[in-house]
Structure 1
Amino acid sequence: MSSNSGGVRVIDEKTSLFVIAGPMFLELLLNILLNNMDTLMLSHYDENSVGAVGNANQVLFLFIIMFNIIATAISVVVAQYLGAKKYDEMNKIYTLSLLVNLVFGIVLSAFLVLGKGFITSFLHVSPQMLPDAQTYLNIVGGGLFLQAGYNVMLQILRCNGYTKIGMYISIAINLINIGGNYCFLYGPLKHLNLGVAGVGISTVTARVVALAFAICFFYAKKIGKISLKTLAPFPGRLLGKMIKIGLPSAGENFAYSFYQMVLLSFINTMGNDSVNARVYCNSLIAFSMVLASSTAMANQIITGHLVGAGNEEAAYRRVFKTLKVTLPITVGIAALNALSRRSL
């Protein structure tokens, strides 16, 4: 990848898939490690806390998918505009996507905080897990708008060719989260007896740092600027286009995540041990999807640039080339999980 004077890295037909996907693979791996570290550290603190956070996280994942409507759309729109060299439109797209996702995130965060009683009742969370689940929803759910902003900023950086930055941010927030968890559960802040609340505080703190770092990097590399002035007059047609692009992709993931949430509501009636077992199994299953997810995101960025540049034939070939490489590997990993289920 080469760079132009505006801080935008050029992505074309010669760009290697794994040059883009490699950092994303490590980033997703670190994100899964982050979630698993919460589970692992809480398992030594209180088994009921594992199930409580597992219940809360299932809801939070569902809401994060909603943020991906805009995040997914921007990965397509930005890539196409950059491929077509429409640099004068970029600041409008950046500002619109960040503003819409932050406002949407604040609304959903408020719903999580105010509606936590209804949510935990729908999930049939056991009385032993209920206080911790609601506490976690209060803290992490209340700060979920930070994730909404970060998702957009990360996609902007990726589409401009800075795919490694997400990996570096993931390393930083992992260290912050693990350090915070240790302090609250076993370290100098143990006397506060915050437990799950402490884990939630660590998670929100890590997300504050992640969003701040992404914004600082955006300006440091002179990729563009975020300004409300670019939205006058309001680009309603552009917003409609982004929703039209992002909704089908996010809708598919939303349906699957909602199904998982309904399934969890049944598992909650089977006892705390069943809930905890599901949390541990999901942690292992997530690793099977890392390669496919990272290559899919990288492929989306490259094909977006190719389509924007008018090279549809190369984009078509790239999609099927990626599928031929990743599908056998993903099936192999899933089979390995199944065969190793007893030892795992």
Structure 2
Amino acid sequence: MNAAAATARRPWVRILLAALAAIVLIVAPLALPPFANQTLVRIGVYAVAVLGLNIVMGYTGQVNLGQIFFVGLGAYVTAYGVNHGWNILLVFVAACAVAGVVGLLVALAAARLGGLAIAMVTIALPIVGVPLAKRLSEFTGGSQGISARFTDAPDWSGLDNDQWQFYIVLVVAAAAFLLARSLVRGKYGRAFAAVRENEAVAASMGISPYRTKVLAFTIASIFGGASGFLYLAAVQYTSPETLSFGHSISLLAAMVIGGAGSIAGSLLGGAYYVFVPQLTNAIDPNLTTVSQGAILLAVLFLLPGGLVSVPRVVRRLTRRTGAGRSTGRRSSAGPVRETSQQTAPAHRPVPDDALEGHEQTERQDGP
């Protein structure tokens, strides 16, 4: 086990595994059926949203219950730009920028708050966003929603639409995960961790908790806008329902179950967001909410670190089992050694004090 873990930590092994994963992801859409590609596309969409939520909550410890608002905002900006003939790269930049600016404005006001206060501010985002989207029908299509079709595969690619969508989501999601990994492993990641652990200690180290919170919230908003762009690329339609508070809670549950404070956990959270509702609906549509709550409680009790902690838990259990077996062998061999010591003849050395006393007695008894 230790040798395998040491081998896995070597740089060339990691590079080889990353290259293998990249090859699989590039080749997979060419071999998979359309339904499988669409499922993987949806996982990528929500994995980016969970990733943004993980940065602000998992790494920085700041409450954010309104991440779905920025996903919906990015989707609306994307639909508006596509329907008005904008360049697709400009549409993507606009979706991220608008979500980031709105997130910055919210963070500037909310980052000084704490506890329930900031929770209430973020809860208000989707609650206000739904009626606002219905009223701004000129931009959002009102209650009917708005559609935008821009991910049809070009003729020169020779790909089907589901394959083209897969590659769009793959490029954006891969860039988002690489950026987040670089972010949390650098100086900003250390600042996030310091603020999460203790704001007073972070301030004494020269780290501004306020600026760090604003930065984390703004980055999470940008990731939400990118997820909204991908959502419209995959679904090609959005409505006020996209902004509903229930979806925000589902994103939060996906982050916790995947693994808070983990890049890989965000990907697992995206898979949970897509697969678990389908599973619970297949079992009993009337008990979908109850089933998802039971799954959440089970993971919290059995795997507090989320699904990403499963390998660590398995290694821990394996070490305990191995230690228990070795202890059992020692305890079974112990009595044998004790018996051999008891049956062997005793050859105890004479203490030096006794020899000195014997020599004094001989001098006294002598002539």
Q: What's the TM-score, normalizing by structure 1?
A: 0.38
Q: Per chain length, whose mean CA-contact separation is higher, i.e. which structure has more relative contact order (CA < 8 Å, sep 6+)?
A: 1
